[in-house]
Amino acid sequence: MAFLSHLISGISLGSVYAIIALGYTMVYGIAKMLNFAHGDVIMVGGYVSFFAASAWGLHPVLGLLLAITVCTVLGVAIERFAYKPLRQAASLAVLITAIGVSYFLQNAAQILWSSNPKVFSSIVGNTNFPMLDGRITVSLIALATVGACIVIMILLTWFTGKTRMGKAMRACSEDKAAAQLMGISVDFVISVTFAVGSALAAVAGVLLCSMYPTLTPTTGAMPGIKAFTAAVFGGIGSIPGAMLGGILLGIIEIMGKAYISTQLSDAIVFAVLIIVLLLKPFGLLGRHVTEKV
């Protein structure tokens, strides 16, 4: 029975990782860069939603929409001002810039909202469902997170597979120069990618803070790193891969803590990552693309 409740914790934690990982994987797949500031956009989403509810008394759904709007604008702005000027630069320069943006966001949040932790009240309330004669308890937020994760994945798969914009994104992902020749505005596609990724970050931020309710300027940092791991685990660039990687990572983390050692939980997570990468160097669902010269 304890196993079942650990499994539920693992899946709901993993669903949050999965939503964050989707943002990483989309940006990497299309812009071919690691946006390390993604975790901090999550934090901004959490703060916007927090102030919407506590300071302005908005309905949680409006708060969520506001957070999505702010994060989308922020994501596009980060891309425009920090990454776009470096489009032709070495990928290492872009990576360092992303780390810089991450620190910038954390410190800006600290100046704006102070480092005192704030307690986030769950957007769906604190309802719990006792199951199996009350032997395990499932919280509504855990169900909402898993549900949101599935819905987002279906929407994204549809978006990239069926829409015109999605096709343009896949074209850019395959070959930017060729896409440009076919009349696709690569800059616009990348901006849209950042907008979608950051909107997902806002959703993830609100769900993360609803599950684990303290909010500080560094709230997004560690989940961001874990989700990045999840994206690599599942195969970076692959949307179902990010989803699978996120959920597996959550389950491994919780099970490792429960049955092996609470002290080694993160070491176990990364050990599994290394084993997977040794066996499948492109992640669980990643595909190997041959570089053409």
Partner 1 sequence: MKKSLLTMVAVVLCLCMFAGCSTDAPSGGGTQTDAETASNEVFKIGATGPLTGGAAIYGIAAKQGAELAAAEINALGGLQFEINYQDDEHDAEKAVNAYNALQDWGMQIFLSSVTSTPAVATAVEAFEDRVFGLTPSASSTAVLEGNDNIYQMCFADPNQGSATAQYVADNYPEAVVAVIYKNDDVYSKGVYDTFAAAAKELELNIVSETTFTEDSQQDFSVQIADAQNAGADFVFLPMYYQPASLIFAQANAVGYNPTYFGIDGMDGILTLEGFDTSLAEGVMLLTPFSADAQDDKTVNFVTKYQEQYGETPNQFAADGYDCVYAIYEAIQSSDGAITVDMEAPAICEELIAIFNGGFSFDGVTGAGMTWNENGEVSKSPTAVVIQDGVYVGVK
Residue 170 binds partner 1, judged by CB under 8 A:
no
How many residues sit in the footprint of partner 1 (CB under 8 A)?
A: 39
SS (H, E, C) 202-260: HHHHHHHHHHCCEECCCCCHHHHHHHHHHHHHHCCCCHHHHHHHHHHHHHHHHHHHHHH
Residue 146 binds partner 1, judged by CB under 8 A:
no
- When binding is defined by CB under 8 A, the residue of 80, 82, 218, 280 that contacts partner 1 is 218
Residue 137 binds partner 1, judged by CB under 8 A:
yes
Residue 167 binds partner 1, judged by CB under 8 A:
no
89 CB contacts (<8 Å, ≥6 apart)? Answer: none
Q: H-type helices in the chain, by residue range?
A: 2-31, 38-54, 60-78, 91-113, 140-162, 164-174, 176-181, 186-211, 221-234, 239-255, 265-279
Please list every residue from 69 through 128 that binds partner 1, using CB under 8 A. Answer: 107, 110, 114-121, 126, 128
Please list every residue from 243 through 272 that binds partner 1, using CB under 8 A. Answer: 253-254, 257-258, 262-263, 265-266
Q: How far apart are CA 4 and CA 188, in angstroms?
A: 46
Residue 129 binds partner 1, judged by CB under 8 A:
no
- When binding is defined by CB under 8 A, the residue of 24, 36, 47, 50 that contacts partner 1 is 50
Of 168 and 203, the one with the shorter C-beta distance to partner 1 is 203
Answer yes or no: are the C-beta atoms of 230 and 18 closer than 8 Å: yes
Interaction site with partner 1 (CB under 8 A): 2, 5-6, 9, 13, 50, 54, 107, 110, 114-121, 126, 128, 130, 137, 139, 211-214, 216-218, 222-223, 253-254, 257-258, 262-263, 265-266
